[in-house]
Amino acid sequence: MIHSAVANQLRRPKLARLLDFEGSRLPIRSRPGRVDDVFHAALVRFLSQPDARTSGDVQIAAFDVLAIVRGMVDAAGERKEMNAPELERRVQRAVLGYLSAR
pTM: predicted TM-score of the whole model, two decimal places: 0.80
Number of domains in the chain: 1
Q: What domain range includes position 78?
A: 2-101
Cα angle 76, 9, 37; round to 5 = 110
Q: pLDDT by residue for the chain (102 residues), tens digit each? A: 899 889 988 888 777 777 766 666 666 555 555 778 888 999 999 999 988 777 789 999 999 999 999 999 989 988 989 999 999 999 999 999 999 887
Gap between the Cα atoms of 34 and 86, Å rounded: 28
CA distances (Å), origin 15, targets 21, 25, 78, 81, 89: 10, 15, 11, 15, 23
- Alpha-carbon torsion, ordered 93, 96, 100, 102, to 10 deg: 110
Cα angle 39, 68, 75; round to 5 = 110
